[in-house]
A and B are shown apart, each in its own frame.
Chain A
Amino acid sequence: DARVTQTPRHKVTEMGQEVTMRCQPILGHNTVFWYRQTMMQGLELLAYFRNRAPLDDSGMPKDRFSAEMPDATLATLKIQPSEPRDSAVYFCASGLFPDSNEQFFGPGTRLTVL
């Protein structure tokens, strides 16, 4: 499929709960990105993978966030425990490097932590 898909599209949870967001990159793309967007901070890069290997996760709070790619068609972003300040829209994007360094975004997961 020529689109990035993300699930769930919306998630409301309570502080302290675990949240898992999933992303299916465009078939054949080898680079996957996780971003977080808030009104205050804008779009921030959390982590990215190439050929399923993590290349940079310096933008991610290490104590509560983790990102993995169990296989080439699935990327996950987990928050445990979640906090109200994690409320944001989380986007996944994918691309095919080095042919191109353009990124294509999924529809996002809107997370609200109460």
Chain B
Amino acid sequence: QKEVEQNSGPLSVPEGAIASLNCTYSDRGSQSFFWYRQYSGKSPELIMSIYSNGDKEDGRFTAQLNKASQYVSLLIRDSQPSDSATYLCAGGLYNFNKFYFGSGTKLNVKP
């Protein structure tokens, strides 16, 4: 079992729809969680960070954390073709000990 797991996809959604990306983690002590977007051939770009249970919204993006169920999700509202990328989930302790990235979910937004 990997420390952070994601469905590799691809996840295909039509333009304008809500894309829902999910991630589970195995270490109950994890404190910090992040979503990165990575375009093909580019470096990961930080989109959202979340530390507390509940929702955190930033523009079209909402991160959700449920520590009891050990999952993190990212919702992208009004998906655009430019959102097509691989989304990496990461999590671990605040001081970076036991910090891991998931393998990523490829998202395709169809015009």
Contact = CB atoms under 8 A, between A and B. Distances in A.
Interface of A: 31, 33, 42-45, 48, 55-56, 91, 97-98, 101-108
Given A48-B96, A91-B44, A107-B43, 10 more contacts: A43-B88, A45-B101, A56-B96, A98-B95, A101-B32, A101-B49, A103-B46, A105-B43, A105-B45, A105-B46
Contacts, number: 43
The contact size tier of chain B is 20 to 34
Interface string B39-71: 000111110010000000000000000000000
A104 B45 CA distance: 7
Contacts of A43: 44, 88, 101
A94 to B, nearest CB: 12
B19 to A, nearest CB: 21
A97 B97 CA distance: 13
A77 to B, nearest CB: 15
B25 interface: no
A97 B92 CA distance: 14
A42 B103 contact: yes
Q: Could you say which of B42, B43, B104 has the most chain A C-beta atoms within 10 Å of its C-beta?
A: B43
A103 B100 CA distance: 13
A97 B101 contact: no
B43 A106 contact: yes
